[in-house]
Structure 1
């Protein structure tokens, strides 16, 4: 006769890890900013030119709030985006400057200060066509922007749009 064992429900490692962790103050603030962005977007349809102008004004205001090092990077990236990706619409995404196509974020700038990291980042979402084989980078650390770096970023922006 075989012994019958009682089966225990499987708990995933993710569930147990998640229950033991909490969001940082910075992550909670980003989530609250995203909730506000979603509230604003549900207030009804707006003409696209007006929405683009509002989005750009919000991005520029957010950039103006940044500390000098991050602000300089974000301002330069904004200029590059507007020059080389005029089809993208500036908007805020989790309180970060972002650029979207058809309402979907394609790339974003995260200041170093936002999550208390040692460098800012330029990130691309899955909407960006950066695919290169089975593995490719989607987030890039930024500490400064040289003219050579701007050429590299411009090429990434163009590739992302293809």
Structure 2
């Protein structure tokens, strides 16, 4: 990972460790991910450089509890880290494991 992507990934890891400590960090397809007690990936991080994109993505898999009616977001772009981004990512991790 390049330095900018690594910095975002490290902040995601801090949030995951504090907001959803029941998730276990693992590598999934060569990228950081967080799995539940059953070993199923709940959240995965994709760095921008790996796919030549202009942003990293935080992707919530099927075990995440983000359901909101018949339509809800499962992928979120992260272009830069900020306090507002950290707050939203924290909320998403907490909801995913609720």
TM over 0.5: yes
| Local SS of the residue matching 1:103 | coil
Displacement of 1:141 after TM fit? 0.4
The alignment's TM-score, normalised by the length of structure 1, stands at: 0.59
CA distance in 1 between partners of 2:9 and 2:70 (Å): 30
Q: Of 133, 147, 155, which residue of structure 1 is paired with 2:83?
A: 147
- Match runs of 1:110-129 below 5 Å: 110-129=46-65
Displacement of 1:71 after TM fit? 0.5
**Correspondence for 2:14:** 79
- Please identify which structure carries the higher helix content: 1
1:133 aligns with 2:69: yes
| Local SS of the residue matching 1:152 | helix
- Match runs of 1:1-162 below 5 Å: 66-101=1-36, 102-162=38-98
Runs of 4+ displaced beyond 2 Å: none
Gaps of 5+ in 1: 1-65
The alignment's TM-score, normalised by the length of structure 2, stands at: 0.96
Gaps of 5+ in 2: none
Larger Rg belongs to? 1
Q: Tell me how large the CA RMSD over aligned residues is.
A: 0.7
- Could you say which structure has the greater relative contact order, defined with CA pairs below 8 angstroms and 6 or more residues apart? 2
